[in-house]
Amino acid sequence: MMALLPLVASLVLDTSVSWLRMLVALFFSMLLGLGIGILANRSELAERIIIPLLDIFQTLPILAFFPVVIYVVVATLPGYIGINAAVIFLIVTSMVWNIAFGAYEAIKSLPVEFVEVSRVFRLGAMEKLLKVDIPAAMPRVVDQSMLSWAVGLFYLVTSEIFSTGSKSYTVTYGIGVALTQLASRGNVLDYVVGIVVFIAFVVVTRFLLFGYLERRFIKRSGRAAQQPNILSRILLHQTLVDAASKRISGFGREVGRIAQQGPGAAKKKRAFAASGARRATPAISRLSASRFYHAAVLIAVVAVVLLLVTNQGIRNDEYLVLVALALSIARIWLAFAVVLLVAFPLGVYIVFLTRKGTAYLTLFQIIASIPATILLPAIAFSLRGQSFSGELVAFIVFFLSGIWYVVFGIVSSRGTIQENVMEVKKVFGVRGAKAWRYIYSKAVLPGLITGGITAVAAEWNASIVAEWFTTSGVSNGTVITSVGNGLGRLLDLSLANGNLTLMIIGLINLTAVIIIVNRLFWKRAYRKVMQVYK
Amino acid sequence: MLKIEKIHYEIGGADIIESISFDARKNEFVSIIGPSGCGKSTLLRIIAGLIKPTGGDVICMNKRIEEPVREISFVFQDFALLPWLTNIDNVKLGLSYFDIGAPEKDKIAMELLARFGLEGFEYAYPNVLSGGMKQRVGFARAIAQEPSILLMDEPFSSLDELTATTMREDVLNMLKTKDIPVNLVVMVTHNVEEAVQLSDRVVVLSNKPTHVKQIKAVPLKQPRNTRSKEFTGIIDEIYATLTG
């Protein structure tokens, strides 16, 4: 083991550089998110265009686009400016949608009287912006930023680890890079120290940065101030899956918002509608969203068919992509099935069967704050050379990426479950298998769905490093682990070979699959379930 | 039939219930009334065996109550129907104590729902029901258990006044029915008039730390004239005790 002090010092340096990227990304995300949210409220047309786009972007596994982003950005801005810009850009794309939605919803639900006040007192556009819109949006923006930060960390770590794949685009400093190097040297203890340093940074950031932002912008009502304990407040992963309900565009967003706020919010919502305030948007944006989508899909399909018919090269590429995609889908959903098998009893246990639920939750939140991919170098290097190492590594990374979202989804849906469910169970003596069948499994279903959609998305995000991991950027290693074939692997190889066309075709197919599964499966399942659960 | 002996309940070091004792006899309707926060709902849950008191006992027919039993059932203030189960499945939850087959449970549950005027709604979900209808499902579920004691936690307070009036009458009629085994009802309420209208005795509780201030008998014959001098006199007495 390396001497402790220099090791910690160098790790702190690396993590600080990573954090710098995060802070720059956060700054731009807040700026952009605020801007987009305000813009979407300007006119109905703006709303109809922007919101569906946000919905789409939020459901896409942005990380899968990283190879393309690297290719394009590094070609334009070579050197360490380029690659850092690419990483920061990627982190922004992971954070900005949540924040934009938050700002949009906050301004949208402003009582109509505030708008009237600004008209009566003839506030100029700038003044209204500064005195009404921005202050109204800030609490939600800060709230969503904390959530986005957690998501961003996953992207940060994964993109840094990914970048070790080639000398031409490795970032020089960063916790992801540092850990990859430590893993390649086989230093287990050093690796653990690295993770500890990482967690320390996460905790400190929560206290200093977000604590400050919270105090400044969010006035806590008594209810909200009663968060269970400091540690769970610090890590806040529970709210990560509340955002998942927003991924199920329109419908889920509305319910997710209500669920997040608890029972009193349904009343607030009614009052809001009754006060003649702005029209109930989800219905409208859903309607125009579907028109927008249909038009876009039609154009896309026509374009695709034309291309396929006229171009042999594209046909070949498409074939390659379809095969790779099918395998990745199988892999990801298999891992997801295992995630469900584990998360369901675990979630039910935490919510219903134990009194130490909060303690377990806090423990899991700490574990979950470590992005699954940060363990990838360790897992990959230790399993390297074993048979099936590629598939095994992919499976483990997918599993770890997805499991916490489902667990937290189940646990956070506890707020929507009536308090007297357990009383009913006890009074009427519902026990054992009956309890599991009639109570537990049904009660956690909404949470399973909202958690599930985020889990699968997270798995797709991880696929570019889970299916193909190489560290030629920082060591003289060749490919460390790789699956036989898969979309993540295909995208990585295309980057290595400079095959932009293949990358783009791959991404188009991936996007199509994600959107189709989202609409035909997740949204339908959620709607069906929520019709009955109120 | 039901003995509440020196119930004491504290939480976080603070005494909520100091000492509550009273008896409830067969064929009685007992109301528990008290100021907000005095712990009457908690007391009811202690009687149900849902909460453990920090001191004292609940004795039901010579048996100490430490957990829910089949003989004691419960009707909730917010109905507490499981939203993901159909109405008939909700009622069937009340049959969990019985080791009978599914078809027989179905039959019993359908009969109960019909008896409570919910024919046609068996396979619907609670979300299509009005408040009054939901509470009727709640009653059907509670009666399905064939309890001898029925506990009710402000059963009408989530209903509008019109529905509540109808339901109060329905409950009194239901209790007169021969084949319903309930012969003791304990109801928690904050509505003094409701308590005097329905009960044989009213247990009036104090503020925290709670004890029994008075047990007022209501010896009027049913159906009661809510405008009679005796009726209003009793109401005034209870108000006086509550605020005194």
For residue B26, the domain's CATH number is: 3.40.50.300
Residue-level pLDDT at A207: 78
Q: What is the mean pLDDT of chain B?
A: 92
B64 shares its domain with B122: no
The answer to whether residues B57 and B140 belong to one domain is: no
Banded model confidence at residue B79, pLDDT cuts 50, 70, 90 = very high
Query: Domain for residue B168, yes or no?
Result: no
Query: Cβ A442–B82 below 8 Å, yes or no?
Result: yes
> How far from A519 is each of A247, A321, A371, A444, A530, CA to CA, in Å?
11, 22, 28, 21, 15
Q: Report how far residue A192's alpha carbon sits from residue A57's, in angstroms, rounded to the nearest whole number.
A: 35
Spell out the residues 6+ positions from residue A298 whose beta carbon is closer than 8 angstroms to its own.
Answer: none
Cβ separation A429–B68 shorter than 8 A: yes
Predicted confidence at residue A350, as pLDDT, reads 86
- B15 shares its domain with B55: yes
Kindly state the average pLDDT of the residues B154-171. Answer: 92
- Domain hosting B128: range is 74-144
Quote the minimal CA–CA distance from A528 to chain B in Å: 11
pLDDT at B35 over 60: yes
Give the DSSP letter string of A218-284: ----HHHH--S-HHHHHH-THHHHHHHHHHSTTHHHHHHHHHHH-THHHHHHHHHHHTT-S--HHHH
Number of domains composing chain B: 2
Can you say whether residue B194 is alpha, beta or left, with left for phi > 0 and alpha for psi between -120 and 50 degrees?
alpha
pLDDT of residue A219: 65
Amino acid, res. A208: L
Chain A CB within 8 Å of residue B231 CB: no
What's this model's pTM, rounded to 2 decimal places?
0.78
- Claim to verify: residue B96 and residue B133 sit in the same structural domain: yes
pLDDT digit string, tens, across residues B41-63: 999 999 999 999 999 999 998 89
Same domain, B155 and B211: yes
Name the residue facing B80 among A423, A532, A534 (closest C-beta).
A423
Given this model, what pLDDT does residue A416 score? 63
Percent helix, percent strand, percent coil in chain A, to nearest 5: 85, 0, 15
Task: Examine the domain organization and report whether B43 and B157 are in the same domain.
Answer: yes
pLDDT in tens, B108-122: 999 999 999 999 999
Interface check B97 vs A, CB under 8 A? yes
Question: Which structure tokens are listed for B122?
Answer: 């068996």
Give, for all 534 residues of chain A, the pLDDT tens digit: 557 888 899 999 999 999 999 999 999 999 999 999 888 888 888 888 888 788 788 878 888 888 888 888 888 887 778 888 889 998 999 889 888 888 888 888 887 777 777 778 777 777 778 877 888 888 888 877 877 888 889 899 988 888 887 777 788 888 988 888 888 888 888 899 999 999 899 888 887 888 888 788 776 544 344 444 444 444 444 455 455 544 443 433 443 343 344 343 333 444 333 333 333 344 444 555 567 667 877 888 888 888 888 888 888 888 999 999 999 999 999 999 999 999 999 988 888 888 887 788 777 777 777 788 888 888 888 888 787 888 999 999 999 989 988 988 888 777 666 678 889 999 999 988 889 999 988 888 888 888 898 899 889 999 988 998 887 777 666 677 888 899 989 998 888 888 888 988 899 899 889 988 988 998 899 888 888 875
> Is there a domain that residue B169 lies in?
no
* Structural domain contains residue B44: yes
Quick one: pLDDT at residue A290? 63
| The pLDDT of residue A222 | 40
* B213 pLDDT higher than 80: yes
B145/A424 Cβ within 8 A: no
Alpha carbon distances (Å) from B24 to A207, B27, B58, B150, B186: 56, 9, 11, 12, 8
Domain boundary among B114, B144, B174: B144
Q: What is the 3-state secondary structure (H, E, C) of A184-221?
A: HCCCHHHHHHHHHHHHHHHHHHHHHHHHHHHHHHCCCC
Q: What is the pLDDT of residue B196?
A: 94
- Alpha-carbon distance B85 to B94, whole Å? 13
CA B46 vs. chain centroid, Å, equals 13
| Structure tokens belonging to residue B231 | 């009726």
| A438·B97 Cβ contact <8 A | no
For A533, name the nearest residue in chain B, comparing CA atoms only.
B83
Do A428 and B93 make contact, defined as CB atoms within 8 angstroms?
yes
Q: Does residue A164 contact residue A183 with C-beta atoms inside 8 Å?
A: no
User: Chain B residues with CB inside 8 Å of A439's CB?
Assistant: 82
Q: Is the domain of B229 the same as that of B151?
A: yes
> A430 and B94 in contact by Cβ < 8 A?
no
- Long-range contacts of A414-420, Cβ-Cβ distance < 8 Å, separation of 24 or more: A414/A351, A414/A447, A415/A259, A415/A260, A415/A262, A416/A259, A416/A446, A416/A533, A417/A351, A417/A443, A418/B78, A418/B80, A418/B83, A420/B76, A420/B78, A420/B80
B109 belongs to a structural domain: yes
B158 Cα to chain A: minimum distance (Å):
15
Distance, CA of A137 to CA of A235 (rounded, Å): 23
Minimum-distance CB partner of B50 among A427, A430, A434: A427
d(CA B166, CA B189): 17
- Let me know whether B36 and B139 are in one domain: no
B151 backbone dihedrals φ, ψ, rounded to 5°: -100, 135
Q: Any CB–CB contact under 8 A between B98 and chain A?
A: no
- Chain A touched by B89 (CB under 8 Å): yes
Pairing of β B2-11 and β A479-482: unpaired
The answer as to whether B100 is a domain residue is: yes
Q: Check if B52 contacts A (Cβ < 8 Å).
A: no
**A479, A425 in Cβ contact below 8 A?**
no
pLDDT, position A135: 82
- Is residue B46 located within the same domain as residue B97? no
Residue A507 contacts residue A68 (beta carbons within 8 Å): yes
CB atoms within 10 A of CB A531: 10
Does a structural domain hold residue B167?
no
Question: Do B153 and B219 fall within a single domain?
Answer: yes
CB spacing of A428 vs B145 below 8 angstroms? yes
What is chain B written as a DSSP string?
-EEEEEEEEEETTEEEEEEEEEEE-TTEEEEEE--TTSSHHHHHHHHHTSS--SEEEEEETTEE-SS--TTEEEE-TT----TTS-HHHHHHHTTTTS---HHHHHHHHHHHHHHTT-TT-TTS-GGGS-HHHHHHHHHHHHHHT--SEEEEESTTTTS-HHHHHHHHHHHHHHHH-TT----EEEEEES-HHHHHHH-SEEEEE-SSSEEEEEEEE--PPSSP-TTSHHHHHHHHHHHHHHH-
Of A151, A148, A155, A147, nearest in space to A174 by CA: A155
Q: Which residues of B touch A418 (CB under 8 A)?
A: 78, 80, 83
Between residues A102 and B232, the one the model is more confident about: B232
Q: Is residue B172 part of a domain?
A: no
The answer to whether residue B177 sits within a structural domain is no
Predicted pLDDT of residue A322: 93
Contacts of A448 in chain B (CB under 8 A): none
B134 and B83 in a common domain: yes
Q: Does the beta carbon of B73 lie under 8 angstroms from any beta carbon of chain A?
A: yes
Cβ-based contacts of B74 with chain A (< 8 Å)? 423, 427
Both B50 and B88 in a single domain? no
Tell me the residue length of chain A. 534
Element (H, E) at A341: helix A312-348
* Burial (0-12, 13-18, 19+ Cβ within 10 Å), B22: middle
Which residue is associated with the tokens 């939140």? A365
Q: Which residues in chain A have Cβ-Cβ distances shorter than 8 Å to B97? A: 428-429
What pLDDT sits at residue A251? Answer: 36
Question: Which of A427, A531, A532 would you mutate first to test chain B, the one with the most B CBs within 10 A?
Answer: A427
| Closest residue on chain A to B138 (Cα) | A424
- Of chain B, the percentage scoring pLDDT greater than 70 comes to 100
The pLDDT value given to residue A398: 94
Q: How far is residue A143's CA from residue A105's CA, in Å, rounded to a whole number?
A: 12
pLDDT at A1: 55
